[in-house]
A and B are shown apart, each in its own frame.
Chain A
């Protein structure tokens, strides 16, 4: 913890009605790290991602990006009575910050989705190109009148480069949803990269892939991390992927952190083995 983390969660709790999906979670990602978030089904991993990316406003806690708070919350309204988590008093005096997901993406956090969310009427090429819209300087008039040709050209070139890097260029004019599952996941990564993020959140990027594809994906993730100077937080069930490619791991169960550390530490932790590794054989 000597350097300043790029992402830091402090006591983040997400409660839906009576269900505490994420419970007092604190974690951080240092620049250049690949950090994994693991846990059994329903542990609250995706919910944690949604709290970081603004899809949900957490019930309590703080999310910091590059040292600045981007999300601040404490129990409000009905939740004041219902709240079943901890540390609510810590943030009571802070003014809540609840940005929409697009604002967070603009800060430099991009993500992929567990249940792939490509734009289904668009081609492979357009899926990536459209993600560049956020960075475009042209306004709606200059865009319509094609006055920003240089920018259009640059956007198209960058898109081609991203597709080439993923070996997807040969599918450029195919509908995104016509690709095989594994390639759709890769396309989602390319689309996220198109927003030029500093931090990339991957939600089960290897889901549905065979061991060889999983291995290739791991190498690829390590490679883009270097190339674009990224930091990566990922959720994954494939344990070999997690063990081989992450610098540190957080294991959660029922929304609560049960253990964190290097892959060696995690692999030998009894709580993790009980809660997770024991049942992961058949996944």
Chain B
């Protein structure tokens, strides 16, 4: 009885918080111009959050140390861009390749049939999902051989896969599809930051549901003790491959949304440094904590793109010191912050705990927050 009552309280508060977030987002979108830095930060941070959570699913929850994220993002990004550039603009974009092979655009098709706004957005979402599917398909292909490798070798193989892919996409022979080493551009965007938050919120919610399902528990069992997992009837090869495919699916969608955010797309930008950046977010947020990845993505992107910008351009917090605050100082400060976080929070800011509505009620309800070790794994 008490349990039910608390559950209802949690649900109501949860819904309230979501509606509040939605209202704030709509307000921000209405008030700020689309080029405003806050809008940009929200868009980019939410994309990073999705990719970080997808990486956490594999590295944190299943215990597979893979470094292929940038590669799967690249696949999603190109799929999205190639399928979305309006037909009329293809001649210009693919100017060195006779307008390219593909002569249709999914968002354009949908906006013609289902209306300007709704159709366009539907088309964008479908193209993004197709990007995720292409990434998932590649994960399916390389999963079997690659996942047989042990920890370090898996990392090297997936990293290699991503690098090869990047080179492959710049290959001239593929130019009519990928535009070679030239930019892809002119594909549509949601226009509003709310679109990013809602879509990514849904994807992350799906990952949370997965992690707390019987399959998520099987993944954690593999991470905790493979031998015990196998002895309890969990097929290691099947479940590792499943985690790899699902993680890559969401990384692919994240890649598509990153391309959308950036406005132009080039294979060159999906370097391994991007994977390391995301790994950094995952580790700092806490390996095995979804909320940790989300919170850290926002903190990281906000600091890098906005709050600490002044450190590179002369004025920071009202202090004008062009001698000190110049190119490269921001990175020095960011490195310092990272070192401090790693020193004081060796398991990241959240460890493997989750930030939950239940925890919030406890916090403000004045009840003792400490119940027992390990925290509650639910959101």
Say yes or no for B288: interface residue by CB 8 A criterion.
yes
* CA–CA, A145 and B231, complex, Å: 28
**Count class of interface residues, chain A:** 35 or more
Say yes or no for B81: interface residue by CB 8 A criterion.
no
* CA–CA, A179 and B169, complex, Å: 54
**Known contacts A100-B230, A106-B233: A133-B225 contact under CB 8 Å:** no
Say yes or no for B22: interface residue by CB 8 A criterion.
no
B232's nearest neighbour on chain A, judged by CB, is A131
Contacts of A111 in B (CB 8 A): 231
- Greatest chain A CB density within 10 A among B229, B242, B288 is at B229
Contacts of A126 in B (CB 8 A): 217
* CA–CA, A121 and B209, complex, Å: 18
* CA–CA, A19 and B274, complex, Å: 49
* CA–CA, A143 and B210, complex, Å: 7
Say yes or no for B324: interface residue by CB 8 A criterion.
no
Say yes or no for A26: interface residue by CB 8 A criterion.
no
With both chains docked as a complex, state the minimum distance between the C-beta of B362 and any C-beta of chain A, in angstroms: 15
Which of A134-142, A232-240, A268-276 faces chain B?
A: A134-142
A171's nearest neighbour on chain B, judged by CB, is B372
Assess whether B228 is in contact with A178, with CB atoms less than 8 Å apart.
no
Contacts of B221 in A (CB 8 A): 119, 122, 130, 133
Assess whether A130 is in contact with B220, with CB atoms less than 8 Å apart.
yes
B242's nearest neighbour on chain A, judged by CB, is A140
Assess whether A173 is in contact with B372, with CB atoms less than 8 Å apart.
yes
Q: Mark A92-124, 1 if CB is under 8 A from B, else 0.
A: 000000001111011000110100011111110
Residue among B209, B217, B230 making CB contact with A102, cutoff 8 Å: B230
A101's nearest neighbour on chain B, judged by CB, is B230
Q: Mark B235-248, 1 if CB is under 8 A from A, else 0.
A: 11100001000100
Residue among A101, A123, A133, A143 making CB contact with B231, cutoff 8 Å: A101
Contacts of B225 in A (CB 8 A): 117-120
Assess whether B210 is in contact with A117, with CB atoms less than 8 Å apart.
no
Contacts of A122 in B (CB 8 A): 217, 220-221, 224
Assess whether B231 is in contact with A144, with CB atoms less than 8 Å apart.
no
**B residues touching A (Cβ–Cβ < 8 Å)?**
206, 209-210, 213-215, 217-218, 220-221, 223-225, 227-237, 242, 246, 288, 352, 372-374
A121-B220, A136-B214 known, 7 other contacts, Cβ within 8 Å:
A101-B230, A105-B233, A120-B225, A121-B223, A121-B374, A131-B232, A140-B213
Query: Please, could you name 22 A-B residue pairs with CB atoms under 8 Å apart, sorted by A?
Result: A101-B231, A103-B235, A105-B233, A106-B233, A117-B227, A117-B228, A118-B228, A119-B228, A121-B223, A121-B224, A126-B217, A130-B217, A133-B215, A133-B233, A138-B214, A143-B215, A144-B213, A144-B215, A145-B209, A146-B213, A191-B232, A195-B232
